[in-house]
Chains A and B, each alone.
Chain A
Amino acid sequence: MASTVSISHLGTLMGGVHTVDQVGAEERAASLAKRSIKKSAKLWALDLAIRCIDLTTLEGQDTPGKVAALCAKALRPDPSDPSIPPVAAVCIYPALVPVAAARLRGTGVHVASVATAFPSGQTFTSIKVAETREAVAAGADEVDMVIDRGAFLSGNYQKVFDEIGQVKEASGRAHLKVILETGELGTYDNVRRASVLAMAAGADFIKTSTGKIQPAATLPVALVMMEAIRDFHRETGRVVGFKPAGGIRTAKQAIAYLVVLFETLGPGWLTPERFRLGASTLLNDILMQIQRERTGAYQSGDYFTID
């Protein structure tokens, strides 16, 4: 496991955060999103997208039954088609981790639990740490934590840094994804700064959003975060993954993220070990696109399972 960087090194890293060129980032993201991926390349991209999905349900009305259904879908997204691969992980609230863990044990599909008072992150550090520990003990092998935006926006970077460090320690061998909630950070500069902070504090993945705030993931924000990952990798040699989440509903959007990922971080990141898509409705749209590509007929949501 990679160690966190020292405080002095963090200072250098944070000091080295340059102002993000907003117009440039948006223009580049928009031009990459226009790239046309068709036919066999599209099928390849859709297959990769499925393998990278964190199939998510984060609702107050989630039941063990719903999580069980989601797990079934995660293992076999299209019951009529065994050539469709399983997704990367199932992402759920901590209380439902035992249900998912029991269903997914030994299948290769990971159990990701949100933690640290998701989605607001506004509670005591001790509780966040305890929540993480319980989630991991219950069987989660990935933890999606939120940063304390209140502390970050008031300039208390130290608190955010320490908290991520403690949660990282509490999550032990579980993979830690740190949610920046970019919709609440206000500027691209803050996004970049929060990315560096999270990576320096030990994040295995940085993730855009909880999905509870609008705007959630956008392409320019993703580009800024990926560039932060790229520069951090050059600086420290540590590999950090990226997970956009929230608002990614169509296969077209998913492919746009893959294009930006490829152009920014290179082919090394086109794997579920380094890239995830947090989504729920996206999976059905991808399945429909695959069917459309294979059969030549536009598809209907009526013929795919509701999740």
Chain B
Amino acid sequence: MPERVDVRKTYKLFINGEFVRSESGRSYRPDGGINVPRGSRKDLRDAVRAARTAFAGWSGRTAMNRGQILYRTAEMLDGRREQFIAELGGTEPARQEVDAAIETWVWYAGWTDKLSQVAGTVNPVAGPYFNFTIPEPSGVVGIVAPEAPPLLGLVRRLAPALCAGNTVLVVVSEPHPLPGLTLGEVLATSDFPAGTVNVVSGIRRELLPWLASHMDVNAVDVTGCTPEETRQVEELAAANVKRVVHGTSNGMTPDAITAVMEMKTVWHPIGV
């Protein structure tokens, strides 16, 4: 039997539920061998537009349903476990990283319908009113994925943002983009509505200023940024008072969810 042809994969951006080539038509080779799309500011703009459009639908879903979809992401990731382990080097730490990533999706899936009870409050007020504080999703969140660990770092930032009901665009690690781009394929089969998660790869310094200054982005997670980049994001984010989140990829905590939420307080008269 003749050996079959070598099928080389074209990595693509994941925007609005579709795998697309970069608008720039360009690519870069982080590790010398594989072409990775070099996303442009227009790809970023398209991703933000898709996320904004998807926001009402995703945040309007029941918490139960969001939890189901996050759980399905864990299922899909588990189904591709070997692929991710190979992509991360095939070592024992790689195995542990993939398992931790799967676990992260399950953990945050459980939080969707518990968060408002835990983070929300009924406040005592001096008057005939109920006074509630309820967490609501911030809106469109840009996540700059940590460089390491390439898969787990991203999942630890992404899962809580989606759990909160935000729509997200991820700028994946510049030197190690493949786990992030492959995660896009997992997300595509996990029942997220189109545009809820968007994955963009490219040169960080070409994308970051556009993300940070975009008026339709409500929060930027700068966990993967250098101090210099963080400073730049904070300056540009001031124009529309974006939330700038300094997180970590160690461990899981409900604080990671509320970090990309807004606490809204409502008054309601008693007896009406």
A residues lining the B interface (CB < 8 Å):
296-303
Contacts and interface: CB of A to CB of B under 8 A. Distances in A.
Nearest to B42: A298
B104 to A, nearest CB: 31
B239 A298 contact: no
Interface in B205-222: 210, 213-216
B213 A299 contact: no
Interface residues of B, number: 11
A298 B213 contact: yes
Nearest to B214: A298
B48 interface: yes
Interface of B is mostly: helix
B81 interface: no
A22 B210 CA distance: 41
Nearest to B44: A298
B206 to A, nearest CB: 14
Contacts of A298: 45, 48, 210, 213-216
Nearest to A296: B213
A303 B215 CA distance: 9
Given A302-B216, A303-B215, A297 B239 contact: yes
14 contacts: A296-B213, A297-B239, A298-B45, A298-B48, A298-B213, A298-B215, A298-B216, A299-B215, A300-B52, A300-B214, A300-B215, A301-B52, A302-B216, A303-B240
A300 B213 CA distance: 11
Contacts of A301: 52, 216
B142 to A, nearest CB: 12
A10 to B, nearest CB: 48
A302 B48 CA distance: 14
Interface string B34-48: 000000000001001
Contacts of B48: 298
Contacts of A296: 213
Name the residue among B45, B210, B216, B240 with the largest chain A CB count within 10 angstroms. B216
Contacts of B45: 298
A303 B216 CA distance: 9
Nearest to A291: B215
Contacts of A297: 213-215, 236, 239
Contacts of A300: 52, 214-216, 240
B50 to A, nearest CB: 13
Interface string B239-255: 11000000000000000
**What 8 pairs between A and B have smallest CB-CB spacing?**
A300-B216, A297-B213, A300-B215, A298-B214, A299-B215, A298-B45, A297-B215, A298-B215
